[in-house]
Structure 1
Amino acid sequence: MDFVQWIKNLGKNDLQDLVWSEAKKINWKEVNRESNLPFSLAYVGEEAGFTRFLEWLEWTRYGFLGVALEKRIPLTGMARARLLHVEPAGAPERRHLLEKADVLVLEAGGLPEGIPPKGFHLFLGDGPQGLAEEVLEAHKPIGQALAHHFPAFRTALAKKVLGDVSLQNALFAGASSAANAVPGPHQAVTAPLEALSDFAVLTGNELRMVFLLAGGCGRQVSPSRLVPEFLVVLGGGKAAQMLATQVLGKIPAGAGSLAKGTIAYAFTYAIGEAAFQSLNFGIRGRAGSIRRRMRELEGYAREQLKGAVGMGKPKEEDFFREIEGQLRFGHPGTVNRFPLVVEEERYRRIHPVKQKVLARLVKDLLEKDREGKIRKILVFGSALTLYCNSFSDIDLVVLGDFREFDPGLHLYEYGDVDLFGYNEEEFMKELKDNRFYREVWERGYVLYEQFPASGQGGPEVR
């Protein structure tokens, strides 16, 4: 009997033994230690703004590829003990406390006196998911603890954990496929051993992923509690059988590492997503849901794996050709700078998926702007960081000749997009006094700029 058939015939007790064997190798106490690290989060703003901030901290939302969930989870006493609220007027006298804070969040609308010269984050009132990603990226050592105590950070942490572990499994599975990608006489000996090794490594990584997710969802990690939950997520062995059949079985010649890695990525992500939904939202998956989710994730998984090994980034000339014709709509006196952007290093930091989303979004915004009122479009925030991934949100500021800006688009069709529209003249007048405006202007990146007609001069292109 080969390994795949053996896995198919696994009984419940056999699967439990395998999972328990891998669970013993994981340092779950370290997850608990990181989840309970001491830290303080300070908020500087008026009472009304702090109330909104508290509400934002309690909401946990998850949205990806057709899945949309949200839940409000009240803050615990331990979480509230880590919070410090300082009114703007009291910032100078409480400066010593603000200097000690691990995370400093300011209410948008100006920089109060007494703020220590350290990194801070702006709360814009509605608390976009990008703020959670930004905070976690800037404070990696306490990221697990932030999510453990404050639900608002859980999705950002979960997506990072899911992506990291899925990629690890994909690269491992792809690398281990070389010996058995093409059937040969040596397979009778090596294939079962390879498959057993693969199963142990992949399952161990998935368990570690579940432990990290549990810690980030406010749980105290205990194998005696989480292993049974993991087995429930596996669906009584059905998911393990699918892993054995599709990932650990023989792969047709020519498919090789990418095919195996893609399935391993999609499988791991689907398992982790189901575990996160159970741990954070209390939603149990139904039989067959992991298989269906795997199929939905395969395209995304293939793209992530290609990007990781340097296969997925389109050539600049191909990308330019793809969007060049779309971004010419001929308003008098308008010059479209977007094609030039792809040649600049800062733009190349953006994940290839986000580059294409930005291209489509800018094109559609300009097509809706028949009167030519849009003067500038800037991207800012997490999309411009070196750590941008396909999950990162897109923050855009549109400046133009209008009082109120209506994009005329259903922004949810482009993913997690936060769009702000301002009158350009008023924006520039308030630039020195408004901290948010200044952050956007100094750190943002111009995607599009409308030049005046020839001979009338124009702003310097950054």
Structure 2
Amino acid sequence: MAETMFKQIRQAITSLNPEEVRAAAERPVHIALIASTSQGYAEMEDFLLPGNISHDKRMEAMNTLHRVGDIGTPHNFDLEIYEEGLPRPEPGFTFNPRDPGRTVSEILIVRDDLGLALARYYPAFRKAVSHHLVKTVSKENALFSLATALPNVLPSAVTLPWALGEFASDTAFLTTNQIRMAFLMAAASDRAVGYRNQKSEIASIIASAFGWRALARELAGKIPFGGGLLPKAAIAYAGTYVVGSSIERYYRIGYGYSRSERKAMFGDAYEKGRRVAGALLEHVKRREGTTVEPRTSA
């Protein structure tokens, strides 16, 4: 059984392309800063490029960070950030020096397509982008667990990174999506992306896959009449959330969570996963107006 699962996972990860992740993270993002004073410019620059980053990284980012009006400034920008108090035409953003995290959130809501590159170049965006990646992939994995059991209902209600039929098993999909998450988080953290560069993270993800699978089978099997759908989806969510959060911490400070910390985090994430899965099922029931009949899956 383990050998078969390894083969399925190995086949599944061929769908991943770390080069695409690298390309998305390395795309130039030209940011225009608009201020009325030198202090206003400095506040925004210090937030985007804090003093603890290396000289080389600062110089790389400064190539795409522009004070409007300086000689050589381009005419077109991906983002425009204005000093607080200045008129802000759409689609610009206002820098809030008292709550700069709010500015980050506002930018990412509107320009989610730039999130990976912004996080790579500018440390101020990394935490928000990494947390968003963890939550998004955790939800995708929970939804996939439901979709394989309700194949005629859920595909029209959810968006997943791949088609349901591309994978030999739930475990193959969940593991592959976690590895994809690791690639994205490395890119967002300005780390090297790829199988060779992330071999320890990938090995840990694959090893953990068997534990999550066994736990999902055990819980789902104890609850009759399809009631095991929510626990199974909740485990997919929680397992992915714990993996992603530990990777985020490792990239941020050099080490992940301890076993006891992961256990405590899993409990909280499991309850969140149940709510996510339950809300989706309720939505489907209301839309279909019928009883949802689950299909047993391996």
Task: Please give the TM-score of this superposition, normalised by the length of structure 1.
Answer: 0.51
Cα distance in 1 for residues equivalent to 2:45 and 2:281 = 41
User: SS of the residue aligned with 1:176?
Assistant: helix
Q: Go from structure 1 to structure 2 and tell me whether the alpha carbon gap of 1:50 and 1:162 turns closer, same or farther (over 3 Å shift).
A: same
Q: What is the match of residue 41 of structure 2?
A: 50
3-state SS in 2 of match to 1:43: strand
Shift of 1:18: 6.5
For 1:110, the aligned partner's letter is: L
**Would you say the 8 A contact 1:165–1:268 is kept in 2?**
yes
8 Å CA contact 1:169–1:202 kept in 2: the answer is yes
Deviations, residues 18-45 of structure 1 (Å, cap 9, x unaligned): 7654433201111011111122111112
How do 1:147-162 and structure 2 match up within 5 A? 147-162=119-134
Secondary structure in 2 matching 1:104: strand
Q: Within 5 Å, give how 1:60-459 maps onto structure 2.
A: 73-74=53-54, 75-86=57-68, 90=69, 97=73, 99-111=75-87, 118-177=90-149, 197-232=169-204, 234=205, 237=207, 239-249=208-218, 250-251=220-221, 252-254=223-225, 255-310=227-282
Tell me the CA shift for residue 247 of structure 1. 1.9
Say which SS state the counterpart of residue 245 (structure 2) adopts: helix
2:18 aligned partner: 28
Q: Equivalents in 2 of 1:131, 1:277: separation in Å? A: 23
Deviations 1:204-259 (A, max 9, x none): 01001111111111123121111322324x4x83x333202212444321422222
Counterpart Cα distance in 2 of 1:308 and 1:76: 44
Distance 2:149 2:263 in 1: 22
- The residue type paired with residue 247 of structure 1 is A
Identity of aligned residues (%): 24
Assess if the C-alpha contact under 8 Å between 1:214 and 1:220 holds in 2.
Answer: yes
SS for the counterpart of 1:209 is helix
* One-letter amino acid matched to 2:86: G
CA-CA distance at 1:163 after TM superposition:
1.9
Shift in CA distance, 301/73, structure 1 to aligned 2, threshold 3 Å: farther
Q: Provide the rounded CA distance (Å) in 2 between the counterparts of 1:146 and 1:36.
A: 9
* CA distance in structure 1 between the partners assigned to 2:52 and 2:246 by the alignment: 19
| Residue aligned with 2:270, SS | helix
Q: How many residues align?
A: 263
Report Cα offsets for 1:368-404 as digits up to 9, x if no partner: xxxxxxxxxxxxxxxxxxxxxxxxxxxxxxxxxxxxx
Distance in 1, matches of 2:145 and 2:53, equals 37
Letter in 2 for 1:78: E
Q: Describe the SS at the equivalent of 2:197.
A: helix
Q: Flag the 1:306–1:128 CA change in 2: closer, same or farther, 3 A.
A: farther
Taking the aligned partners of 1:43 and 1:55, their CA distance within structure 2 comes to: 12
Could you tell me how far 1:140 is from its partner in structure 2? Answer: 3.0
SS for the counterpart of 2:82 is strand
| Structure 1 residue 127: Cα displacement | 4.2
* Structure 2 counterpart of 1:56, one-letter code: F
Work out the CA distance in 2 between the residues paired with 1:161 and 1:104: 24
Q: CA deviation at 1:178?
A: 6.2
- Are the counterparts in 1 of residues 182 and 201 from structure 2 also a CA contact under 8 Å? no
Check 1:73–1:307 CA distance in 2 against 1; reply closer, same or farther (3 A cut). Answer: farther
Higher relative contact order (CA 8 A, sep 6+): 2
Report Cα offsets for 1:131-174 as digits up to 9, x if no partner: 11211222233221111111111122222222221111101112
Superposed CA deviations along residues 81-120 of structure 1, whole A, max 9, x for unmatched, are 110123xxx5xx87x9474111000010132xxx7x5411
Alignment RMSD: 3.2
Distance 1:243 1:134, change over 3 A: same
TM-score scaled by length of structure 2: 0.76
The amino acid across from 1:161 in the alignment is L
In structure 2, C-alpha distance between the alignment counterparts of 1:169 and 1:108, rounded to whole Å:
40
- Greater strand proportion: 1
**Is the contact between residue 28 and residue 221 of structure 1 (CA under 8 Å) also seen in structure 2?**
yes
1:165-209 CA-to-partner distances (Å, cap 9, x unmatched) read 111110111233469xxxxxxxxxxxxxxx961111110010011
Find the residue that maps to 1:283 and give its secondary structure: coil
Kept in 2, the 8 Å contact 1:166–1:268? The answer is yes
Question: Is the contact between residue 195 and residue 202 of structure 2 (CA under 8 Å) also seen in structure 1?
Answer: no
AA in 1 matched with 2:41: F
Aligned position for 2:163: none
The structure 1 segments of at least 4 consecutive aligned residues displaced by more than 6 Å after TM superposition are none
Contact kept? 2:8, 2:169, Cα under 8 Å? no
